[in-house]
Structure 1
Amino acid sequence: MKRLTNSYPRVESRQLEKLIKALHRFRCVLGVIPLVVSTNILYASESFNEMVLTEISAVEVAVRDNPNLAQMKERYKALADVPPQVGALPDPMVNFNAMNFPADTYDRDQEAMTQIQIGFSQVFPFPGKLSLKEDAAEYDARAAGHSVEEVRLQLIKNVKGKWWQLYYMDRALETVDSNQTLLRQFISVAKTKYETGKGLQQDVLLAQLEFSKLMDQKIQLQAIRRNQAIQLNILMDKPANDELSLPDQVSKMMPNLAKENVLYQKAEVIRPRLKQVETQIDAAQSRLDLAKRDYYPDFKLGVTYGDRTGDNPLPRGDARSDFVSVMVGVKIPLYAGRKQSKAVSQKRSELQKNRYALLDEKGMVMAAISSAVTDYHRAKQQFSLYGGGIVPQAQQTVASMLAGYQVSEVDFLNLVRSQMTLFNYQLQYWKALSDAKQALARLEAAVGEESVYE
C-alpha cells in the first residue's frame, strides 16, 4: 500500500496530463468555431471524387435518375401529343353496299333498282368546337409541364434535406466518439484516485454510466443515419443499402434573405405549382366554352355512288344509268335540358373549383415561405450563438472544472456534468447548421427558384 501511495502523484499526474491533452484535442473537434465560416462551395477531395457525395452531386444524380421525375416527364410527353388528335376532324366513313338484290335469283340485271354502292361520309362539328377541344388539351399539356418542374423542385428539396440530416448525423457521431475518448480518460483518473484512497467508487460508476449512455446514443444515431441514407439512396435511384460518404468540410455561410413580401411576389410569378393551377383554370374555361357550343348541332355530309347493270325495258331499251346520292345530316340537341345544360353546369362548377384551388395553393405557398424564413432565422441565430458564445464558454467551463478537479476543489460529478453539457451544446451547434440549410432548401422550393437572397 505504501508503494502505491508513493507512486500515486506520478500516476495521477500522467493521467491528468493525458486528459488535458485529450481535452485540447476535443476542443478542436469543431475546429475553430467562428461566428461565420466562409466557404464558397461544397466540395469533395479530388482523390476521393468518386467516393464522397456532396450536396450538389446528390442533387445532380437525383434529377438525372429519379424514377418519379422520369415518370412525370413521360406523362408530359404523352399529354403533349393529345392536342393535335382532339383538334382533328373525326375519321371519315367509307361504305360498300349491295342494294335491292332479288331474293329469288340474286341477278343484278333482273331489277332496275339493284345496285352496288360505294359511299363516303364525314362528320363536321359545329365551327369552334374542335379548336376549343384542342385548346383544353393544350392547357392540360402545359399544366403537366409545370407539374414536372414542381416535382423537380420538391425532389431537390428532399435530397438537400436528407443530405443535411446525414451530415448532422456524421458530426453527431464524431462528437460522440470524442466524448467517449474523454470519458475513458475520466474513468482512468477516477479509478486511479479510488485505488489510492483519494477518490470515491461512485465517481468511477458515474463515469462508466455516462460512457454507457454515450454508447446507447451512438447506437441510436447510427440507426437514424442508416435510415436517412436509405431514403437518400432511393431518391437517387440507388440500391437502398449503398454506403454514403459525405465530405467533412461544408459551407457554413448564412446568407441574408430577401424580404418576405418580395419572396411572395416571386412565388406568384414563377412557382410551378401556381402556374400549373392557373393553366388548369384556362383548361376548365375552354371546356366550359365547349360545353356551351354543344347546344349547336354537328353536321354530317355523305356522297354515295350506285353502280347498276342491265338494260331498261322497251321502248327505251338502253343501258341503265348509275345513281349518285348526296346526304346531309344534322344532330339535333333534343335533350338539351338533361345533357347540354347539365354539362354546362358541371363545367362551370369545375372552373370555380379550380379558381378556389388557386387561392388555396397561394395561401399554402405563402405559409411555406413564411415558415421556412422563420425556421432559417431561428437556426441562423442559434448557430451564431452556439458557435460564438455557448460552445466556447462551455469549453472554458470544462477546462476550469478539470483544473479544479486536479487540485480537489471540484467534485467529479460536476466535472462530468459540465462535460456532458458541452457535448449537448456541440450537438445543438451542428443541428442548427443542418436546420438552417434544410430551411433554405424548403424556401427555395416554396419560391420556385434558388435566388431567395438579397
Structure 2
Amino acid sequence: MKQWNTTITAWLIFLPLIFLIPSAYAAEDTKERVEQVHAVLTLDTAIALAEQSNPGLAQRQAQAEAMSALPSQLGSLPDPMISMGLVNLPTDSLNTSQESMTQWQLGISQEIPFPGKLALKQQAATERANASALMTTEYKQQLIQYVTSYWWQLFYLEKTLAIISTNKTLLKQFIDIAETKYRVGHGLQQDVLLAQLELSKLLNREIELNSEREQVVIRLNTLLSRPTNTAIQLPAFQHIDTTLPEIKPVDEVLDIAEQSRPFLLQQKHLIAAASEDKALAEKDLLPDFKISAAYGVRQGHNLDGSDRSDMLSLQVGINVPLFADRKQKMAISQKNSELKQQQFAYQDSWNQVQSEIANYITQYQQARQQYSLLDTGILPQARQTIASMLSGYQVNKVDFLNLVRAQITLYDYETQLWLSVKTAKTALANLEASVGKDTFYE
C-alpha cells in the first residue's frame, strides 16, 4: 500500500511536467515564428529603416537645421560696442584733476546699416535655408529610389532562382526519362548528354545569380545602415504587390513635377537668394551709419572754486563710397552674373528633369506591356506546348532536342516576366523621385 501511494505521488509530481513539455515547445515555436516574421523585410519597412538610420540623410538634415539658424543672425544689428577710458591725461604729472579736459569716459557706439540692408540679408539667408531644406527632401527621395530599386532587384533575383530550382528538377526528370529510354533501346545517348549539359548551364547561372544576390544584399544593407552581412528575407510572393497601374500622360506628369520636384524648387529659392544679393549690392552704394555717445567724469575744481561739471559727447558718422567704381559697382556686376547663372542652372535642371520623366515613362510603359503579353499570352501557350511535347516524347512522337529547347524557352519567358516587373517597379520609383510626388497615377 505504501508503494502504491508513492507511485501515485510520483505521478502527481510528473504529470504536470508532461503537459508543460508540449507547451514549452509550442512557446519556442511561437517565438521562432515571431522572429521570422520580424526578419521579413517588406519594401515599406526597408524605406522606413533607411529614413531613420541612413547617415547621409541625417547629415543633410543637420545641415538644413544649421542653415535655418542663419537668417535671424544676418537680420540683426551688429553688437554695440562699450568703451571706457581716461581722456586728456597730462603726461608731466599724470594727475587726473590738474587739467579741466581730463576725464574718465564711458562710451557706447552702434553701427546701423542703411535701412533695408538687413532685411535683404535676412531674406537671402531665408531663401538659402529653404533651399537647403528642399535638398534634404530631394536626398530623401533619392534614397527611397535606391532602396526601392535594390529591393525589386532582390525580388527579381529570388524569383529567378526559384524558377531555376524548378527547371533543375524538370531537367533531372528529363534525364531520368532519357536514360530509361536509352537503356531499353528507344533513345539516344546524346539526349542524355544534352539534358546534362543544359542542367550544368542552369547550375552555372544559379551560381552567378546567388553572387549577384549577395551583392544586392550588401548594397541594400548599406543604405539601411546595417551590417552588410545581415540576412534579408522578402515576404511571401502573395503578400507582394506586383500590380502595374496606369499613369497619367507625360504632359500632366511634367506639370506636377514643375510644381513639386524638390530639386527644381530648390533652384527657384537659389534664384530668389541671388536676386536679394543683387539688391543688397545695389544698396551698398548707400552709406551706413555709426552713432556713439560718451559720458565723461571730470575731477578737480574750476578757477572760481566750483566743481568741474561732467561732459556728454554725441557723434554720428557715415561711410563714404569713394571707390564705388572699383568696389560697389563691380559687386553689382558680380551679383548680376550670379543671378543669371542661377537662372540658367534652373533651366538646365528643368530640361534634365523633363528628359528623365519622359524616359522613365517610356521604360515603364514598355515593361508594363511586356508583362501583360507574357502573363496572359506567351507563358500560358509555352506551358501548354511543354506539356504536349512531354507527352509526345514519352511515346516517341517528339524529338528530345525540341523538348529541351522548348523547356529552355519557357525558362527564358518566365524570367522575362519577373524582369519586366522589376523594370516597371524600378521605373516607377525613378519616376516618383523625378516628379517629387506619387500623384501621377490615374
**TM-score normalised over the length of structure 2:** 0.88
Partner of 2:60: 72
1:182 aligns with 2:170: yes
Q: Which has the higher helix share?
A: 2
Partner of 1:359: 347
The SS at the match of 1:319 is coil
Candidates 375, 378, 386, aligned match of 1:390: 378
Partner of 1:271: 261
Summarize the alignment of residues 109-128 of structure 1 with structure 2, pairs less than 5 Å apart: 109-128=97-116
- Give the letter aligned to residue 431 of structure 1: L
Candidates 117, 120, 123, aligned match of 1:132: 120
Deviation (angstroms), 1:333? 0.9
- Give the letter aligned to residue 320 of structure 1: R
Give the whole-Å Cα distance in 1 for the aligned partners of 2:139 and 2:35.
34
Does the Cα contact within 8 Å between 1:76 and 1:144 map onto a contact in 2?
Answer: yes
Summarize the alignment of residues 47-446 of structure 1 with structure 2, pairs less than 5 Å apart: 48-247=36-235, 248-249=237-238, 250-312=240-302, 314=303, 316-446=304-434
Does the Cα contact within 8 Å between 1:443 and 1:452 map onto a contact in 2?
Answer: no
Of 288-297 and 60-69, deviating more is 60-69
Percent identity over the alignment? 46
Per-residue CA shift, 1:315-342, capped at 9, x if unaligned?
x233223222222111111111111111
The alignment of Structure 1 onto Structure 2 pairs a total of residues equal to: 408
The SS at the match of 1:418 is helix
Give the whole-Å Cα distance in 2 for the aligned partners of 1:46 and 1:276.
44
Partner of 2:18: none
Structure 1 stretches of 4+ with a deviation exceeding 4 A read 45-48
Partner of 1:24: none
Partner of 1:38: none
Deviation (angstroms), 1:48? 4.7
The SS at the match of 1:50 is helix
Of 438-447 and 425-434, deviating more is 438-447
Give the whole-Å Cα distance in 2 for the aligned partners of 1:430 and 1:299.
72
Per-residue CA shift, 1:191-210, capped at 9, x if unaligned?
23333443333222222221
Does the Cα contact within 8 Å between 1:159 and 1:232 map onto a contact in 2?
Answer: yes
Partner of 2:5: none
Deviation (angstroms), 1:299? 0.6
Give the whole-Å Cα distance in 2 for the aligned partners of 1:194 and 1:262.
64
Per-residue CA shift, 1:159-206, capped at 9, x if unaligned?
111111110011001011111111111222222333344333322222
Deviation (angstroms), 1:85? 0.6
Aligned alpha-carbon RMSD (Å): 1.7
Give the whole-Å Cα distance in 1 for the aligned partners of 2:59 and 2:288.
38
Where does structure 1 lack aligned partners over 5 or more consecutive residues? 1-44
Of 135-144 and 148-157, deviating more is 148-157
Of 190-199 and 210-219, deviating more is 190-199
Deviation (angstroms), 1:343? 0.8
Give the whole-Å Cα distance in 2 for the aligned partners of 1:115 and 1:191.
119
Partner of 1:3: none
Of 294-303 and 244-253, deviating more is 244-253
Deviation (angstroms), 1:47? 8.5
Per-residue CA shift, 1:258-300, capped at 9, x if unaligned?
1111111111112211111111111111110000000001010
Of 144-153 and 78-87, deviating more is 144-153
Deviation (angstroms), 1:410? 2.5
- Give the letter aligned to residue 76 of structure 1: A
- Give the letter aligned to residue 256 of structure 1: E
Per-residue CA shift, 1:410-445, capped at 9, x if unaligned?
232222111111111110011011111111111222
Deviation (angstroms), 1:127? 0.6
| Cα gap change, 1:280 to 1:194, in 2 (>3 Å) | same
- Give the letter aligned to residue 284 of structure 1: A
Give the whole-Å Cα distance in 2 for the aligned partners of 1:90 and 1:254.
59
**TM-score normalised over the length of structure 1:** 0.86
Deviation (angstroms), 1:46? 8.3
Of 423-432 and 58-67, deviating more is 58-67
| Cα gap change, 1:46 to 1:429, in 2 (>3 Å) | farther
Give the whole-Å Cα distance in 2 for the aligned partners of 1:364 and 1:305.
65
- Give the letter aligned to residue 59 of structure 2: Q
Where does structure 2 lack aligned partners over 5 or more consecutive residues? 1-32
Give the whole-Å Cα distance in 2 for the aligned partners of 1:400 and 1:270.
55
Deviation (angstroms), 1:115? 2.1
Give the whole-Å Cα distance in 2 for the aligned partners of 1:167 and 1:451.
25
Give the whole-Å Cα distance in 2 for the aligned partners of 1:334 and 1:374.
61
- Give the letter aligned to residue 271 of structure 2: I
